[in-house]
Structure 1
Amino acid sequence: MTKCGYVSVVGRPNAGKSSLLNWLVGEKIAMVSHKANATRKRSNIIVMHNDDQIVFIDTPGIHETEKLLNQFMLDEALKAMGDCDLILFLAPITDKVSHYEDFLVKNKKGVKHILLLTKIDFVSNAEVLEKIKEYEKYNDKYEAIIPISIKKQTTQADILNDVVKHLPVHPYLFDPEIMTTEHLRDLFKEFIRESIFDNISDEIPYETDVMINKVDEKPGVDVIKATIIVQKGTQKGMIIGKDATAIKRIGKDARLKIEKLTGKKCYLELFVSIKKGWTKNRQGLKELGYDVTF
């Protein structure tokens, strides 16, 4: 009599969704960046808790914008909210309650949810209690409200025990040995994107993407060739950097992430290509895996 189900992890951009999921699974699977809107697509992260299986869905941040790529990201989050058994809504402790009120409006199917107050390391216990009081007027909406700190006070079981309570009795949906349904190529792409976000400043990372051209899995080493896509020639110059210092830094950072995941050596070769206006038209987005259907 195992329990198994889908749990969407949602919240505003930079609420800590990907960091939470990496912590819950005990491995770096989801892309993490201190910059908002780094996550672009849904991805499944599988956590076994005792004899039960939880399929977490990492989602882009809930936000409003007229940009086509960002509209795709919002659509991804809304689809995840509508196609799951439970929602975890992440609310940073310093946020206004208005973000949660917006979520309630967007949760059109009324999927049951747990409210997680994140980043409580930065405030006092009295401030945590005060914030909980602010949310109490909505206590008929959420199943539970849990203050969490992934750095010290909270354990994974504190969250997983509550999550499992709300999942249906169901056989496993996936092999319990795997941690994600994503292909390795997709994880490699996200690690390279993360390295761009971490090493290139300002808006340039938001107008870049990555195409994995080839993966050759050899004994003891993965040989990966990938192309970083930019929109303008000036962006290409900044990605490469003077004497290729920037692209070398990006490559080294991504290679270390990949090697930590696979446990093998990695030879990573990066190229840069210009695809003008790819974030602004449906065809450009589709070619990079963002199929805009709305």
Structure 2
Amino acid sequence: MTKCGYVSVVGRPNAGKSSLLNWLVGEKLAMVSHKANATRKRSNIIVMHEENQIIFVDTPGLHETEKLLNQFMLDEALKAMGDCDLILFLAPVTDKLTHYESFLEKNKKSVKHLLLLTKIDNVSNDEVLEKMNEYEKYSNKYEAIIPVSIKKATTHADILDEVTKHLPQHPYLFDPEIMTTETLRDIFKEFIRESIFENISDEIPYETDVLIEKVQEKDHIDVVKATIIVQKSTQKGMIIGKGATAIKRIGKDARHKIEKLTGKKCYLELFVSIRKGWTKNKKGLKELGYDVTL
């Protein structure tokens, strides 16, 4: 009998969740940014390990804030924690234990979890062992603690073998050939958002979103038309840039990401539209796919 189940990947903003998942699946599917709180919604990434199917759920970072959009993001993470068979809690090795202690309080259903120490490449082995010793007082809470280096030391099996141990016996929930339940439209949207985060500074990326207006798949080329949503006219000016330099840079970056995934050429056309205060009211958020119920 095969094993199959949902595994939620959680942690503070910028803990390395999306990078880990892209590494495990061997494709760039999840949005990655050095800026915190880039991931806004849950997404499923499917990994086949031997005869078993693991449905990883990428989540926004666990954090506290009064902003409506951030409340939606926290709710997405909490729902993922409550609806899964196993949790991977990612803890950067240089973090204090307070983030983990906050996670334990939020894990209301006491779903079993693995503790992954991330970002260990820049510290010594002694520092990793010291941090593992600090977590030892919570050893009755987690199933295992695993130091993770996706750059060199860790293999996929180091994580996937341990994850599989804790999954239920169950038939596959998805076709084993697919890597994600996300549509191409969703993935293209995240690639464009990621390119905005990478090419536009300060707080502007946090007040932008992307609407995919059209995706036309042809034999040798994909045609994608999308609108970047901003809140203010000044933001629109910065997204476009002098002589349209900024939006051209965003488009070029996003197009390369799309072409690398699909293996085809991409014609990407970007527009910019102002929706005043969209991040601050439930109606504006819902229109862009963020249904705030709080």
Shift of 1:49: 0.1
Give the structure 1 partner of residue 76 of structure 2: 76
Shift of 1:125: 0.5
User: What is the Cα-based RMSD across aligned positions, in Å?
Assistant: 0.3
| TM-score of the pair, normalised by structure 2 | 1.00
Shift of 1:216: 1.0
Give the structure 1 partner of residue 179 of structure 2: 179
**Runs ≥4 residues deviating over 6 A:** none
- The one-letter code matched in structure 2 to 1:6 is Y
Give the structure 2 partner of residue 160 of structure 1: 160
Give the structure 1 partner of residue 97 of structure 2: 97
CA–CA separation in structure 1 for the residues paired with 2:228 and 2:47? 31
Pairs aligned (count): 294
Q: Percent same amino acid at aligned positions?
A: 85
CA–CA separation in structure 2 for the residues paired with 1:293 and 1:48? 34
Shift of 1:126: 0.5
- The one-letter code matched in structure 2 to 1:274 is I
Give the structure 2 partner of residue 11 of structure 1: 11
Give the structure 2 partner of residue 66 of structure 1: 66
CA–CA separation in structure 2 for the residues paired with 1:216 and 1:93? 44
Give the structure 1 partner of residue 230 of structure 2: 230
CA–CA separation in structure 2 for the residues paired with 1:58 and 1:239? 27
CA–CA separation in structure 2 for the residues paired with 1:213 and 1:117? 40
Shift of 1:257: 0.1
Shift of 1:161: 0.1
Matched, 1:275 2:275: yes
Deviations 1:221-280 (A, max 9, x none): 000100000000000000000000000000000000000011110000000000000000
2:154 alignment partner, SS class? coil
Deviations 1:120-168 (A, max 9, x none): 0010000001000100000000000000100000001000000000000
**Structure 2 residues not aligned, in runs of 5+:** none
Give the structure 1 partner of residue 53 of structure 2: 53
CA–CA separation in structure 1 for the residues paired with 2:128 and 2:286? 43
| TM-score of the pair, normalised by structure 1 | 1.00
Matched, 1:134 2:131: no
Give the structure 1 partner of residue 286 of structure 2: 286
Deviations 1:208-230 (A, max 9, x none): 00000011111100001000000
1:290 alignment partner, SS class? coil
2:188 alignment partner, SS class? helix
**Structure 1 residues not aligned, in runs of 5+:** none
Deviations 1:55-114 (A, max 9, x none): 000000000000000000000000000000000000000000000000000000000000
1:140 alignment partner, SS class? coil
CA–CA separation in structure 1 for the residues paired with 2:254 and 2:128? 37
